[in-house]
Structure 1
Amino acid sequence: MDSPPTTSHLQLATCFSFYATKSLTTGEGGMLVTENAEIAERCRLMSLHGISKDAWKRYTAEGSWYYEIVAPGFKYNLTDIAASLGLAQLAKVERMWLRRQAIARRYDAAFAQLPSLECPTVRPGIQHAWHLYLLRIHPERLGIDRNTFIDELKRLGIGCSVHFIPLHLHPYYRENYAYRPEDFPIAAREYQRAISLPIYSKMSDADAQRVIEAVCSIAQQHRTH
């Protein structure tokens, strides 16, 4: 491929998720992009059971019923129906991104004046996808922790989440690898500060304003400095 923006800095391969909450969705599934023809061919093979010929071609006039499994592959192919959803969204992906960006800027303007809140940072030369708007709190400047902040938002009718819980805090990794929170102190610390606020392309100005008013109300009510 001719190095489009998503692949201009690739050395091997990059994966994109098209999960339902992502900026562009196919309901489930994803995409792998690479400039390496060998990797691309291997991924195509492994994504469909390791079958030697593309399954779709077997059912065309030019195809044959015969196939061979040449590697222990997986069932990782995106369905045609899911791909059609993605193609329809691709036609309006710029418009959807611009709407997310507008909401993010509105959040930034509202929260930047509150010392107990920290807005996302966008580095120069980087175009943020705004799949998430990750607000971080400064617990030492509030009389409440992150979990209580989320509970207060819920009480005000604002749904939010946390992205993500660090792997080393999950039971599997604790029990099998004896990880402790202090083994990855930055991840553990930032996890305790993170709140993902609602952001999506169909979000109205009124809904965004409700989120802003709720967040600011809680931050001002519980500020200690």
Structure 2
Amino acid sequence: MADGRVTTRSLDKAPPYDEATAAAIALTVKSVLRSTTLAPAAERTHRAEATTGTGTGVELEVGGGVSRSNVGTMEGRGDLGMSLWPTRVWGLGLRLSGGPGAEVSTPLLDGTLVNLGAALTARARVPSGRVSLTFELGPALQAVRLSATLRDLGSPVSVPRIDPAVEGGAAFDVELGARTRVGVRALGNVLVRSQRFLIAGREALVLEPLALQGALRFSVRLD
């Protein structure tokens, strides 16, 4: 059959068969065909449909994990995304991410760096049965705000900034059902240019170019 399996049934006698035996044989053959792609789409059973759980369409995903931020400290982050898959292999994804902020401490100030990100990535998926490996790469923007207190003056400062970046990563997913998957993801975010914060003419903070994140994610196919 289409899935590589063969079904057999023992018969008590050789043909020609009586009406009852012939009807039983026909019913057996029809039942087997309904569980394969050989049958018309309207007559296929759920088992054949379940093999295409990772397919084309639109997917929603939510995730959460831990990130090593651009200031070298750890931060919890969550994300919400959507991806479009014109084919089983190639897709396009949009992801929004954020967290409470990473702690910052320098000789000049103490505070928090809050980073809200958005990334638009091209994606390639390698499916194998109920598991799949997905790679992604594309441009990103980071809306950054440094909120801190100057050590020598004790006065608060708040500096907003928009930073361009490139984001890429990979995810390993396992299908829970025909439309749902759960997996783990690793991401890297690289700033396009060096980012320095100057306060009163003094260099208060320099961001590291690379931020890394590991996360769990859950996705649902809508169509």
TM range (shorter): under 0.3
TM-score where L is the length of structure 1: 0.20
User: Which structure carries more helix by proportion?
Assistant: 1
TM-score where L is the length of structure 2: 0.20
User: Which structure carries more strand by proportion?
Assistant: 2
CA radius of gyration, larger in: 2
